[in-house]
Chains A and B, each alone.
Chain A
């Protein structure tokens, strides 16, 4: 781990004329007690902050003869608050576990005289379940599972929270199954009247189901209220929440468009969290109107800076494909993942590896904690439907660890009202963790465009599982790379189909966001489709070499995403691998073989997206390779086409 936590935030701001923790003094004003100098220090009013969140205070001190000043801060209780002075700014740092009212005394000295002022600092209470939220601060806790995570395998957010970024004034929509707007740990952040219930036609999307509300769990990961003495903490604990219960509606196109920024109640949303996916079938399509809504959203919402669309990659790595070591479903099988306006997120365990279920593919942008089952390995601690008669934690419900167990009508001692669950997981969790991270980025730099956000995430995310090896299969006696290891493209970006550009590093992203000149990527453009024309080329069966076809792109742009559209016939499409190689030689596995597709009708206008070429030049020959990994079924490549997104 190469991380810069708190030191990077304000280490450079410290000056040499600082003394800390040197004992207390009473409030006194001996200025000018000797000599002719006059030393002054203005009174400091009572202050307040949240636990572990830094507070800065302006002070005024001077020496009439220009002597350099030194400061000493003492606290009662002793050492619960430390601090430093730089110029006229006093920085107060509450201890990580301290809450209450501390009496602080600041003493200033010019070397001859000194003067002190006392004031109080109210430190608001902590969130009792925060200690289990390994995705925020991983110190190897188990979160009630049998096995712990690994220290520091988290999103590096605490330094950002300490610096005062909490997601304020950023609206995140939970497009999901519901949102319990009255939940004790969510209500403070819910936009009053801002949600929409497609079932009842009102503004309360609280899910009436008794067996758990997915959306309420998702919302907690984004913006459980902070420092209220209840539950855990969202990644962006002051972000504003709206809920659109698309998943329990009829899912008509109008509800989809409304949920994604097409209605008055959704047009002010900054970030749309989409912890859902379509069932992966060869026939799955995305309506052109949905794609148009995404384009409208990134073009027009947020005062034309573009809304941020964040989506889970899917939970389909395992399945009916057997133990191939390859993703049974591929992220590109969900046509919503193949839209470049979405930031597609894969899931990570508390040990910093791919979650067992996390759907892999070249359309993944980044990865974030999503956990495992909460039984053997840690899942996510988040909000649950209130009460012990409904929710994931309820009387008669299945419990996989002690926290989720309900005895009689009461929950675990730390969850007696059953308002929280510790077995939430999935890429459904990874997406809201990322949404919360982006909320912090937008607070740090509200001018960021949707492309700036993607760029910063790609540039600052951490490579995880760096030593993961290529997954090979044998085709007719030849070794074939069916899921490549981490690649470094010619623009210098590291990419892996499991992880995208890596795990979100909030500290690094905020640092980059603050320094970033918004809109500096240049004008975005989408090329027209470059088409191969009719090929009808036979795909060699059981051949690691496969069939290759090239297309030339003459227009040079810096790639932000690539889409390929394929038409082919094959009697068992899940046997096929589809690769794309860029003009500079970067190879991306668009569609891993031995996947769940089994249709005999081939692929029709099947669109695959790759982020692996980010930053490379578009001009030159692009080569598509189709590899049939098995002997029994045959097919032909009818045609293919390619288009680029970038600047």
Chain B
């Protein structure tokens, strides 16, 4: 189940939610906007053995500070706010800023925000970190993989045969991940999603 799946789902017309008011306060499970915008993106992928749907117009921002590299203006939600929630210190939001405007390639290293994804199994929303987790074999080291796919090596844990990559501007993280999986030179590759955060005790 580590293969990345990119599945084109039936797209829901953007106009169908044009008049939806902010539904802050409803849980994720209760909220039709979350599932609707998850379907709207048309992107389904596997991460940490769970299936996620990218949420169109969704983004995450740290409530106690901006995500590294993000400016205040960049953290502001674009478009009409449809839903707000939280996951740990992240403020999650969904706006009607359409998928076509946002693009599915937004998760490059130059992105100024984190996207979010819906987990139909748990009903939860995870934060897409923008990194690709690659488990590699002894035949190809982490740097060679980066060079082969034109992506950035963020961190390499050679003792675990695990490396982390980010895509460059103009690259689509899902397509790159799919290509890595199909290449035969890595054991697995997946877009990282964090759904359960550690909190102080």
Scan residues 118-151 of chain B and give those whose CB is less than 8 A from a CB of chain A: 119, 121-122, 124, 127, 129, 131, 133, 135
A428 interface neighbour in B129, B154, B192, B200, Cβ under 8 Å: B200
Asked if B67 CB lies within 8 Å of chain A CBs, one says yes
Contact bitstring A269-294, B, C-beta under 8 A = 1, else 0:
00000011111011111010100110
Asked if B177 CB lies within 8 Å of chain A CBs, one says no
Asked if A500 CB lies within 8 Å of chain B CBs, one says no
Q: Is the CB of B196 within 8 A of A283?
A: yes
Instruction: State A247–B62 Cα separation when bound (angstroms).
Output: 12
Nearest to B129 among chain A residues (CB) is A252
Which one of B15-23, B31-39, B98-106, B159-167 is at the interface? B159-167
Q: Is the CB of A283 within 8 A of B124?
A: yes
Instruction: State A251–B68 Cα separation when bound (angstroms).
Output: 12
CB neighbours (8 Å) of B131 from chain A are: 252-254
Contact bitstring B185-200, A, C-beta under 8 A = 1, else 0:
0000000101111111
Q: Is the CB of A427 within 8 A of B198?
A: no
Highest count of chain A CB atoms <10 Å: which of B49, B62, B162: B162
Chain A proximity of B56: nearest CB distance (Å): 21
Instruction: State A176–B88 Cα separation when bound (angstroms).
Output: 14
Q: Is the CB of A247 within 8 A of B199?
A: yes
Chain A proximity of B107: nearest CB distance (Å): 13
Q: Is the CB of A208 within 8 A of B65?
A: yes
Asked if A177 CB lies within 8 Å of chain B CBs, one says yes
Q: Is the CB of B64 within 8 A of A251?
A: no
Nearest to A313 among chain B residues (CB) is B201
Nearest to B164 among chain A residues (CB) is A254
Q: Is the CB of B114 within 8 A of A250?
A: yes
Q: Is the CB of A276 within 8 A of B201?
A: yes
Asked if B155 CB lies within 8 Å of chain A CBs, one says yes
Q: Is the CB of A209 within 8 A of B65?
A: yes
Chain B proximity of A606: nearest CB distance (Å): 13
CB neighbours (8 Å) of B30 from chain A are: none
With A199-B68, A281-B122 known to touch, is A257 a contact of B160 (CB < 8 Å)? yes
Chain A proximity of B196: nearest CB distance (Å): 5
Asked if A262 CB lies within 8 Å of chain B CBs, one says yes
Asked if B48 CB lies within 8 Å of chain A CBs, one says yes
Asked if A248 CB lies within 8 Å of chain B CBs, one says yes
Chain A proximity of B15: nearest CB distance (Å): 34
Q: Is the interface of A mostly helix, strand, loop or mixed?
A: loop
Highest count of chain B CB atoms <10 Å: which of A201, A246, A276, A300: A276
Chain A interface, number of residues (Cβ within 8 angstroms): 48
Asked if A200 CB lies within 8 Å of chain B CBs, one says yes
Scan residues 145-176 of chain A and give those whose CB is less than 8 A from a CB of chain B: 176
Q: Is the CB of A250 within 8 A of B127?
A: yes
Nearest to B156 among chain A residues (CB) is A254
Contact bitstring A289-324, B, C-beta under 8 A = 1, else 0:
100110010001000000000001111000000000
CB neighbours (8 Å) of B198 from chain A are: 246-247, 251, 276-278, 336
Instruction: State A296–B48 Cα separation when bound (angstroms).
Output: 20
Chain A proximity of B129: nearest CB distance (Å): 4
Nearest to B197 among chain A residues (CB) is A251
Q: Is the CB of B48 within 8 A of A287?
A: yes
With A258-B155, A285-B48, A289-B162 known to touch, is A251 a contact of B200 (CB < 8 Å)? no
CB neighbours (8 Å) of A177 from chain B are: 200
Highest count of chain A CB atoms <10 Å: which of B50, B88, B198: B198
Q: Is the CB of B164 within 8 A of A253?
A: yes
B68 interface neighbour in A201, A296, A300, Cβ under 8 Å: A201
With A279-B199, A285-B196 known to touch, is A254 a contact of B155 (CB < 8 Å)? yes
Asked if A214 CB lies within 8 Å of chain B CBs, one says yes
Chain A proximity of B100: nearest CB distance (Å): 27
Asked if A426 CB lies within 8 Å of chain B CBs, one says yes
Q: Is the CB of A279 within 8 A of B197?
A: yes
Q: Is the CB of A276 within 8 A of B49?
A: no
CB neighbours (8 Å) of B133 from chain A are: 253, 289
B201 interface neighbour in A263, A285, A314, Cβ under 8 Å: A314
Q: Is the CB of A254 within 8 A of B197?
A: no
CB neighbours (8 Å) of A198 from chain B are: 68
Contact bitstring B69-107, A, C-beta under 8 A = 1, else 0:
000000000000000000011000000000000000000
Q: Is the CB of A253 within 8 A of B64?
A: no
A248 interface neighbour in B49, B65, B155, B192, Cβ under 8 Å: B65
Instruction: State A199–B64 Cα separation when bound (angstroms).
Output: 12
With A247-B200, A250-B114 known to touch, is A289 a contact of B64 (CB < 8 Å)? no
Q: Is the CB of A252 within 8 A of B195?
A: no
Instruction: State A426–B201 Cα separation when bound (angstroms).
Output: 6
CB neighbours (8 Å) of A314 from chain B are: 201
Among all A-B residue pairs, the 4 with the closest Cβ atoms: A283-B122, A312-B201, A428-B201, A214-B200
9 contacts between A and B (CB under 8 A): A209-B64, A250-B194, A251-B198, A253-B131, A254-B154, A278-B199, A283-B196, A426-B200, A428-B201
Apart from A283-B195, A315-B201: 14 A-B pairs, beta carbons within 8 A: A209-B64, A247-B199, A250-B68, A250-B129, A252-B129, A254-B164, A262-B157, A276-B200, A281-B124, A281-B196, A283-B121, A285-B49, A289-B162, A428-B201
